[in-house]
Structure 1
Amino acid sequence: MAALPYWRLSSFYLFYFALLGSTAPFLALYFDHLGFSSARIGELVAIPMLMRCVAPNIWGWLGDYTGRRLVIVRFGAVCTLLTFSLIFVSKTYAWLAMVMALHAFFWHAVLPQFEVITLAHLQGQTNRYSQIRLWGSIGFIITVVALGRLFEGLSLDIYPVTLVLIMAGIVVSSLWVPNAQPAQGNRIAGDGFLKQLRNPGVLAFYACVALMQMSHGPYYTFLTLHLERLGYSRGLIGLLWAVGVVAEVLMFLAMSKILARFSVRRVLLASFLLAALRWLLLGSFAEFLWVLLFAQVLHAATFGSFHAAAIQFVQRSFGARQQGQGQALYAALAGTGGALGALYSGYSWNALGPALTFSIASLAALAAAVIIATRMQEDRP
């Protein structure tokens, strides 16, 4: 068995999720800084998520067909950097919408294919996935805390520059990663992607992925603005985002033991129920710091345990030649749900207010819990 390139894989996750750490908390704040309304902010944030509905499936099919997944990762990373750099040309709504769409088309080519490469390097040691993926969480933490402090003293006008620097880090780290192909022979040749998709519980799982990401819409689009208007400083807001991801890191460290003891179904069900609670707390009680801290700790479940269990479910639900498409569909439906969440929260934020907007998110998470409880069969851990 070849040695696991732990640090090379981990460095890619570090930079990739550092980019997410710079966009999730601050992208809406930047658009607000440019003077856009809540509805326009929701639309601009939704555009990359909408591209996530389409792009991963195109790149996923290409990766499975050619087997050249690492080439796709590197190509996507370079094109993400080049297309996002167009943001320096203009700041009009139409131009920004185009930049959001173009860079997201290539950005969403990257992670699903890289997940397949990572799992191939693990050679069946899927319990070690969380130990590598936690470096993505560390990258998120470093970025969100650093930018929160930075923007307390400096103008948001420099925000696009920070994103370009992180994107350059993604390009460099992708060049350092060695290639690996999934092992063949896990399933018979006749088991195509669509046939595997119809296996019990698989469609229900993907529906729940969309609902879970839809429930995150207000969180990723408006939490920073919500907290800023409640009187929290940008530095403290950055730390609060970091609290959630620290909890996520600790969860990733524990996930191999959790998934060895509990079934994927039970882990997903608990994640959905805790998400429903979290959104209610953020929408109605965020002015209380202790409640806000508790709600952020719940990120361990709403992202950490959910994502680790979901990746394991996809990995064992599809054969080697369908891994790219399985991961791409996961990304696409997460994007569909995320886009719907960003859009509805953008339109409802001013009309209904934060409490009702987050309550809708809570209902979406509860719906996912009901589906997973009734439609997915109990699996052996």
Structure 2
Amino acid sequence: MIPYWRLSGYYFFYFAFIGAFSPYFSLYLQSIGSSAAQIAMLMSLMSVMRMLAPTMWGWLADRLGVRAPIVRLSALLSLIGFTGFLVSDTYAVLFLSMVFLAFFWSAALPLVETLTFAHLGDRVGRYGNIRVWGSVGFIVAVLGLGYLLDGLPVRAVLWISLATLAGILFCAMTIPEARTPPAPEGHVALGEILSLPHVRALFAACFFMSAAHGALYVFYSVHLVASGYSKSLVGWMWTLGVVAEICVFMGMPQLLRTYSLRNILIFSFVAAVLRFGLIGWGAESLGLLLFAQVLHGATFGAYHSAAVAAVNRWFGVRHQARGQALYGSISFGAGGMIGGVISGYTWERVGPEWTYSLGSLFAFLGLLVLVGGWRQRGTARDDR
């Protein structure tokens, strides 16, 4: 039996933390006098650790043959690491706390993705029905906190984020280990999988997609507030993007039956090129911003669902945890770090318009890599 609600609950709180932390922690850092470069560096530490930690934890999980205990340890140590933000707002303490938090927090999601697919077995189409609760958690957090911050000090971000981490820990304790089926005879070595052109193309394209989102996750809320929008509207804008994401997750079973993974990804990259240009140059038009947020359904919802499905398909039983970890490390880790750090240096030098234009360029480069490296011909079996 699939532990539907236990997995869904974990996703709910995991992404509720993101909804409370990612859009508003930069506002908190700004309120205590941090510069744009410091904000970008601190926020990018999450990506740095997502580049380093998941691969190590994925290797350990594959080595030990268990994932749930590592997920529980990750949740506990993440909660402990976050408490450093409550102790001091000096840059050194913030830096060390972020490193500790991010190292353990980033370990969990690839392993939970692996657990989810293991519990689903051949019912992969139901992934979206479980993952959608993460989007719901994000909406509850980002929208609720947006309204709260119109009347409460920005420091409230810390306490709400801490509460969501406690929720993650509670749910992590309830997720059962999934039985790992034996690897088939003559399994393919990890190095051989990584040498396949379409695998390398996917990972490279994912790097560029996350780099394209760097300025969004670091400065989107700052950008909207500076453009004259209220914090509650900021919450609604983030919510709109995730509502679009939810619609895509719910429709993924049909999309996967109708379109190939490759074509879903190509559409997502085209949407990203358009989206970041609109955010950068259309901030004065609420209508354009609304349309850009609807495109989040493609640039994250469809993109992520197709990417994890491809990794699940290509890496097999023996290398599943490391495959998902590599996807997270290369995309959200390395790509997110590069995109976030670069945006911190361009934001004050060339402005938000050109910073988001750089995001469009990253997405376009990802599109070229994907189309050129993952050719439909010769990989038809994997393309579906």
With normalisation by structure 1, the TM-score equals: 0.98
Q: Does 1:32 align with 2:30?
A: yes
* Per-residue deviation, 1:184: 2.5
* Per-residue deviation, 1:186: 4.8
**Amino acid of the residue matched to residue 13 of structure 2?**
F
What corresponds to 1:70 in structure 2? Answer: 68
Checking the alignment, whether the CA contact within 8 Å between 2:272 and 2:360 is kept in structure 1 is yes
Q: Does 1:118 align with 2:141?
A: no
1:171 and 1:133 map into 2 onto residues whose CA distance is 18
**Amino acid of the residue matched to residue 335 of structure 2?**
G
**Amino acid of the residue matched to residue 130 of structure 1?**
G
Q: Does 1:295 align with 2:292?
A: yes
Percent identity at matched positions? 42
Q: Does 1:218 align with 2:199?
A: no
Query: Pairwise mapping of residues 137-176 of structure 1 onto structure 2 (< 5 A)?
Result: 137-176=135-174
What corresponds to 1:276 in structure 2? Answer: 273
Uncovered stretches (5+) of structure 1, i.e. residues with no partner: none
Partner secondary structure for residue 310 of structure 1: helix
1:128 to 126, 129, 137: 126
* Per-residue deviation, 1:256: 1.0
Q: Does 1:323 align with 2:317?
A: no
**Amino acid of the residue matched to residue 199 of structure 1?**
L
Checking the alignment, whether the CA contact within 8 Å between 1:116 and 1:182 is kept in structure 2 is no
1:318 and 1:187 map into 2 onto residues whose CA distance is 15
* Per-residue deviation, 1:143: 0.3
2:184 and 2:365 map into 1 onto residues whose CA distance is 33
What corresponds to 1:79 in structure 2? Answer: 77
2:48 to 43, 47, 50: 50
What corresponds to 2:104 in structure 1? Answer: 106
2:252 and 2:215 map into 1 onto residues whose CA distance is 27
Cα deviation per residue 1:79-133 (whole Å; 9 max; x = unaligned)? 0001111222211111101111111000011111111110000012111101100
1:146 and 1:218 map into 2 onto residues whose CA distance is 23
With normalisation by structure 2, the TM-score equals: 0.97
Cα deviation per residue 1:185-214 (whole Å; 9 max; x = unaligned)? 35623x221111112310111011110000
1:376 and 1:361 map into 2 onto residues whose CA distance is 22
1:139 and 1:50 map into 2 onto residues whose CA distance is 24
**Amino acid of the residue matched to residue 240 of structure 2?**
V
Moved over 6 A (4+): none
**Amino acid of the residue matched to residue 99 of structure 2?**
A
* Per-residue deviation, 1:321: 1.4
**Amino acid of the residue matched to residue 264 of structure 2?**
V
2:191 and 2:22 map into 1 onto residues whose CA distance is 33
1:232 to 229, 252, 274: 229
1:332 to 329, 333, 354: 329
1:22 and 1:222 map into 2 onto residues whose CA distance is 15
What corresponds to 1:94 in structure 2? Answer: 92
2:238 to 234, 237, 241: 241
Partner secondary structure for residue 287 of structure 1: coil
- Structure 1 window deviating more from structure 2 (86-95 vs 75-84): it is 86-95
Checking the alignment, whether the CA contact within 8 Å between 1:50 and 1:339 is kept in structure 2 is yes
Partner secondary structure for residue 319 of structure 2: helix
Cα deviation per residue 1:243-292 (whole Å; 9 max; x = unaligned)? 00000000001111111111111111100010010000000002111111
Uncovered stretches (5+) of structure 2, i.e. residues with no partner: none
* Per-residue deviation, 1:183: 2.4
* Per-residue deviation, 1:178: 1.5
2:314 and 2:19 map into 1 onto residues whose CA distance is 30
Cα deviation per residue 1:336-369 (whole Å; 9 max; x = unaligned)? 1001111000000010001100011101101111
Pairwise CA RMSD: 1.0
1:188 and 1:105 map into 2 onto residues whose CA distance is 35
What corresponds to 2:194 in structure 1? Answer: 197
Partner secondary structure for residue 173 of structure 2: helix
Partner secondary structure for residue 321 of structure 1: coil
Q: How many residues align?
A: 378
